[in-house]
Each structure stands twice: as C-alpha cells, then as structure tokens.
Chain A
C-alpha cells in the first residue's frame, strides 16, 4: 500500500486517498531533527465533532482529490442517506425521551417505520421525501429539534431534511456540499499529501476525536511539524457522544491542555481554530451563552465577538508550557468553502513562516 501523492495539477488519474499513514515507519525522525526535511506533517486534533474531517474534506476538495469526482461521491450516497436516517431516528427517539408527542397521526406512522424497518435502500423511493419532510415539519419533531442540546444530533440535520427531494431519488448523486455537510465519524487515522511549493509537501493527518480514538494520536506525535487544534464554538450547550453527561467544552479544554502542553509539541507551531462560527452565531441569537460560563458578562452574550474573545481566553489559559508566540488563534466555518480555503491558507502560511524562522 503505497502513498499516493496528490498535487493540485493531478486532475484525473490518482484521486485515491492513501490509506496508510507513513509513520508506521518508526525511523520517521522526530520533530527536532527534521527541520529541513521536505515533508511537513500537520496534525488535525480536537475532540469529537469539532470539524477535523470537515476541514480535511475541504482541503481535499481544494486540491482536486476524492470528492471532486462524481464517481467518488456516488460511493457516498449510502453515507448521506445513513445520516438522514440517523438524524430521523435520533429525533424520533428524542420525542419519546423528552415526552413530546408527534402530532400528526401519519407522521407517527412514519416514525414507527423509521425506528423499526427503514433502511437506506428505501430512500430511493421519492415518496419517502414527502413523508420524511412532513415528519420533519411536525410540531412535535420541531419542538424536539429546538431542544437538541438535550440529546445527540448531527449539525447536518436541518440541511439534509431541507434537501430530501434530491436525496430521496434513484438518480441521486451527492453534491460536494452534501459530502461536506454529512457527518462521518472518523475512526483511526488517515492522511493526505499535497505540494506546497518550494519542493515541499504538506502531509495533513486527520484523526478521530472521541476518547477511545485519542489514545491513537500518540502514534503521530513524534513526526509532527505543526498542530492544528479544532474546537467547536457551538458546543457550549452540548454533552459528549461517548459520555452523555460530560460537557463538551470541558472535554475540549482538557484535550487542548493535554496536547498543547505536551513536551513533544513544545517547539512546534500550534494553531487553535474555533470552528462552527456560523452555527455559533445562530445559536447565541436564541440561546443564552452566559448561562454556561459564570465568568462571562451577561450583557455581552448576544455579541459573537465578545463571546469568542472569552472562549479564546479560556483556551489560552490552559497553556502553561507552550511558548505563546508560536500559537495562533483563528475562527473558522469549515462547511463554508471560501472561508475554509482562506483560513487554511493562513494556517499554512503561519506554519511555513514558523518553519522558516527556526
């Protein structure tokens, strides 16, 4: 299994993502000895659902890899539909859990089918588009959706339900946006390489974020040249997927602390990305931000800039070992193509200049 190097010019041929992380090789050299090597390894780290893979997919997309090709996206039909089903299932389960009845009898029928027998193949039938949409618009489901901080639900829910008429069709081919929006839990570690000029290659490593996945990160810690740590701004009202009683922000801070203060990263440029800015801005318009942060001035809670500033402080306070001048903080909306492109370009520049300085 060789590593396929992807360059922006490589438009047709090898669009297969390589699957084998090269650091299987224990002689890969440590960060300290590899200042002038031609490959820059950048780790995308962060807790679960912070957007690492979304950014990873966006970067793939800028470089003409994978999802730019229709054929590759066809393979993802299943994932998109699985997302729809999982969202629907979670919503229906939540109505039961939260004691909110689904109002329309026919929607209750649909809900029953979703829980018991519906599979992704059934979604080829366009009639499901209407049924699922009608369920989505049911007052009970909408009420559950408003209370979505009380259970686990993907960020993609609204988007997918609004696009059911395309998805529930036998001619459906996922669009790039569909693929970016759908949630696939990353298991294990994957990477991609692309040229960044100067005869250098950037190797971007994507990892899973849940607790059990984090113990795998250490395999890559010795070959790292830069760390990009993502955290979701909009998780301030949510609990963990893997431990549904643990506040996500607390987990993010804990993971950030562990990573940023790790001795191996002491000399490595570090980028902290506050992701999901778009969702965050929507969320604070309806939800109280200060309710979750006792140290925050309540009067400012509708001001996204103030909120983000507060979050930034909170995270930077965790840094005890890492030199602050090699830490960069940015906000990001990874589902937004232009924004990710711009932010990633900035991140790249930051890393390259830091590399240069050393």
Chain B
C-alpha cells in the first residue's frame, strides 16, 4: 500500500481525501457526542436525577475510564490515519504515522482485553455477592437474636435461674418475646402459688387454664423452631467460609476497578513503547555506523526507512506492516482465549456480553477486509490512492466506539428512563422520595440501618435491602432460595425479624402459599416474579417514615449536603 520510498510518494486523489475527511468528521461527531453524553448521564446518576431504581448502564456495569480510554485510543488511531490522507502524505509527520502501526494493535487489543476481564470478574463477583449477601442475611438475624437473648439474660436476674434456657432457646429461634414472657409469667405463677394467693380468686382457675395452654404452645414452638434453626445453620455451613470469599471478592473488585484498567494500559503501552524505542535506538546506531547500502535495506533501517526522521512524509512500509501483523497475530491468540471465556459467562444483565460479541464481530470483519487484500500488493497499491485502504480498520474503530460507548450512553440508559416515567417524575421534596434516596446511597443506607438498630427497628431497612438484592438475582435457583430465606426471616409470623405489616394484604397470603409449595424436588422448576415483594417493599418504606424523620433531624446538614435531601421551607 503506497510507496515506502519517499521519492515515489504521490498525493492522494480527491476521492480518497473526501472519503477520509467525511469519515473523520463523522467519527469526531460520534466521539464528542458519546463523551458529552456519558459525562452528562454520569452526573445525572450521581446526583440521582434518574429514578432510584434505574439500572445503571454506565458507571457500574461498565467502567467509565475504560469507555473513555477505549474511545480515545480508537480516535487517535483514526485521527492519525485519516489526517495523513486529508493533509497529504507528503507533509504529514512520518513518525506519527508509523507510530500508529507499532501501537495501534496493542492499544486496541488492550481495550478488548480489559472488557473481557471485566465481564468475567463482574459475573463472578455478582455470583459471590449473592452468596455472601445471603449468608449475611442469615447471620444478621442470628446476631440480632443473640443480643436479644443476651440482654434478656442480663436484665432478668430473678427470672434467669428458672427460665434462662427457655428464654435463650426461644429468642434464638425467633419466638415472639411476648410469648416468651408469657411463659415466664406462667412459670412465675407456678413458683409463687404457695407464697401468696392470687389477687383475684375468681379468675385464678381461668388463669391456670391459660397457663397450661401457654406451656403447651411453648413446647410446640420450641420443637418447630429448633428444626428451623438447624436448617438455617446447615445453610450457613453450606455457604462456605467467609474469609476466603472476602479475599475473592477483593480480587474481583480489583479486576473491575479503574485501577486495574490503568495498570493494564500502562503495562501494555509501556511494553510496546520499550520495544519501539529499543528497535529505534538499535537502528539509529546502525545508521550512524553503517554504510549507505545498509540504508537502502528497508528491513534494517527503522529510523530512516520507516522515516522516523523523514521530513517529507511516508507511505506505510512493509516493515511496519510486518510488525503490525506480528502484534496482531499475538494478540489475536491471547484475545481469542479471553473472549471465549467471557462469552461463556451466564448472565448478561447490563448487555455487556452482547456488546462484547458485537465488537468482536466488527473487528473480525474489518481486519479481514483490511488484511486479506493486503497480501496482493498490486490491488492495494493501485486502489490506495483512490480509496484509503485503512478505512476498513477505521470502520472497526467506529463500530467499537458506537457499540461500546454510544449505545450504552444513549440507548440502554435512555430506554430505561422512558419505560419508567413515574420514577423520574417524582422529583418533589417528599419524605418517601428522601427515604429512597437515602436507601440507595450505600453509605447512608448503612447509617440509617445502624440508626434503626438503635431504635429497635432494623427489620424494615434489612428487608428493603434484601428485596433489592432479590431483584438483582438472575439465576432461578438462587432466587428461589433467597425468596425462601426472606419469607422465613421477615414474613412468617414469629419470624426472627418479623415485619410490622398487615397479613391479609400486600400479596402476603400468596407469598406464604408459594413458599409452602417449595420443596427440594421442585426447587428448580418454580419461577418467582421479580416484583413479588414490591408491595411489601413499599410498606417497608412507609414503615420507615417515622424513624426517618428522626434520622433526618439528627443528620439534617449532612443529608442536605450529600444527598440534597431537604424538606421545603415555609
């Protein structure tokens, strides 16, 4: 393609320039739009102007740094390639042009590599998070009960001796305290019967009946709850040790972070720059000490032959093409491995797998159309002046930017918005909105949870979080399992973290019925709607209003500064 010898270098035909200029203009517009769009949407997400339940297609599933880096790399490659045609190959600084041959393939491959690693790490991380979250749910409820039973034991010195084991058992297994203190009362009655007559003789027989009743129900509860208890602890053991998981989680977090992207890019760029400059230095000394004949030998004269120092522009030399082809081959093998692993990932919540496959297909097509005719230099040499052959590579770049940047910013993110108009519409300053805002912020969510724990009402926030988690799960089996755990922890009467909620509405009868119908054999076949807990989640939000107002008066300033939560002034 083109002549390597600068003496034979001709200018491109106008058709070539027009095509190059058009493509460059189009691509520039696409890049600018994507970047501006991305920053705007990110800002919107950050200030929470998009509804809180919005799926975040930009800054969680995708890494904004990677998106920007990828687009910029493609764009620089394109810019150098096309500007050279537009300006004229004779004038364009040759070192820049040949540089893209050395760096283009590694740079573009790094982006795809980054995407693959991210996709794999993200999927594994989510699977792990679901696992950990489930365990947390269980252990939290256990912890709470433990503290409950501990304080019970400490508080009631008198009762302790008689009913310590009872209280411990019952509160551990989640029997309501009112029940357990009724049994304490019953035991007390028994004990004090001979100390003094009951105040009201008339009712004492009735009392006795009641007492017997409560003892019976207590023992029933005990056995039932012991059974449930052991089931729970089995589940905990089955879920594995948490320290190992935490390390794994940290590793996945690293692989999905911007830090990893930065390190990956630095590594790849660094390696190739070192190669580039070492070859350059070696060639330079060759030129300095060598003869003119050597200079004529293109393969050895990197500096002059590829015109690092040329003042008159250059064509794309065979030598550069060989370098590019070598890199391409090496990265193709590496990427193939990663892409195949990535495409085997199960879930595709944020369309990243879909995106990756589209990009790979794009690159495959563009490199084939570019590379195959390159073997027949007669074709390319003749055509190149009329039609810049590298446009095929550029199309690959444009496709890459379009799929990986433009689509997520403008199509995926917007689609969600318009399908849920009510979310974005309710921007008014009311407390249920404030509560949602507070709950969707990671930091404030845990702060609010802690606050509620101190006011003895953590169950609504915990349930709310569990429901959010439930909605994120894609695997049917895991969803059924979490569904069961939620029902047993929060919804059943006497559950360890029983919610304060009306039982006859909010879809609760249906939920309990569904939960009862689940057994080990049909675990796989049952499908549960992702919105099954929506009504309950709303009740949880309503339940929080009371404690949120108190929370708000304590953190008024911080809530206003960090989340923009403010009740209207008069």
A residues engaging B (CB < 8 A)? 1, 16-17, 19-21, 24, 26, 30, 70-72, 74-79, 82, 117, 119-121, 124, 152, 173, 184-190, 208, 210-219, 221-222, 241-244, 255, 257-258, 261-264, 316-324
**Could you say which residues of chain B place their CB within 8 Å of the CB of A189?**
455-457
Nearest chain B residue, comparing its CB with the CB of A79: B545
A183 to chain B, nearest CB (A): 11
Q: Given A188-B456, A190-B455, does the pair A121, B430 have CB atoms closer than 8 Å? A: yes
B114 to chain A, nearest CB (A): 43
B152 to chain A, nearest CB (A): 6
**Could you say which residues of chain A place their CB within 8 Å of the CB of B549?**
75-76
Is B454 interfacial (CB-CB < 8 Å)?
yes
**Could you say which residues of chain B place their CB within 8 Å of the CB of A257?**
182, 185, 210
Q: Given A187-B460, A188-B547, A217-B177, does the pair A212, B500 have CB atoms closer than 8 Å? A: yes
Question: Could you jot down 24 A-B contacts, CB within 8 Å?
Answer: A17-B553, A26-B151, A75-B567, A119-B426, A186-B546, A189-B455, A190-B455, A211-B493, A211-B498, A212-B459, A212-B500, A215-B180, A218-B181, A219-B456, A242-B500, A244-B503, A255-B178, A257-B182, A261-B188, A261-B189, A263-B158, A263-B159, A316-B200, A317-B202
B residues engaging A (CB < 8 A)? 148, 151-152, 154-159, 171, 176-178, 180-182, 184-185, 188-189, 192, 198-200, 202-204, 207, 210, 422, 426, 428, 430-432, 451-452, 454-457, 459-460, 493, 498-504, 542-547, 549-554, 567-570
Q: How far is the CA of A242 from the CA of B499 in the complex (A)?
A: 10
* Pairwise interchain contact A319-B200, C-beta atoms closer than 8 A: yes
* Pairwise interchain contact A17-B550, C-beta atoms closer than 8 A: yes
- Among A185, A242, A261, the residue within 8 A (CB) of B543 is A185
* Pairwise interchain contact B432-A218, C-beta atoms closer than 8 A: no
**Could you say which residues of chain B place their CB within 8 Å of the CB of A255?**
178
**Could you say which residues of chain B place their CB within 8 Å of the CB of A78?**
430-432, 545
- Among B152, B157, B431, the residue within 8 A (CB) of A79 is B431
B98 to chain A, nearest CB (A): 63
The 4 closest A-B pairs by CB, nearest first: A188-B457, A215-B177, A212-B498, A222-B155
* Pairwise interchain contact A242-B501, C-beta atoms closer than 8 A: yes
Interface of B is mostly: helix
**Could you say which residues of chain A place their CB within 8 Å of the CB of B422?**
117
**Could you say which residues of chain A place their CB within 8 Å of the CB of B210?**
257
* Pairwise interchain contact A184-B546, C-beta atoms closer than 8 A: yes
B392 to chain A, nearest CB (A): 53
* Pairwise interchain contact B203-A317, C-beta atoms closer than 8 A: yes
* Pairwise interchain contact B567-A213, C-beta atoms closer than 8 A: no
* Pairwise interchain contact A187-B547, C-beta atoms closer than 8 A: yes
* Pairwise interchain contact B500-A214, C-beta atoms closer than 8 A: no
* Pairwise interchain contact A258-B204, C-beta atoms closer than 8 A: no
- Among B203, B542, B551, the residue within 8 A (CB) of A19 is B551
A269 to chain B, nearest CB (A): 16
Q: Given A222-B156, A320-B200, does the pair A211, B176 have CB atoms closer than 8 Å? A: yes
* Pairwise interchain contact B426-A121, C-beta atoms closer than 8 A: yes
* Pairwise interchain contact A16-B432, C-beta atoms closer than 8 A: no
**Could you say which residues of chain B place their CB within 8 Å of the CB of A20?**
454-455
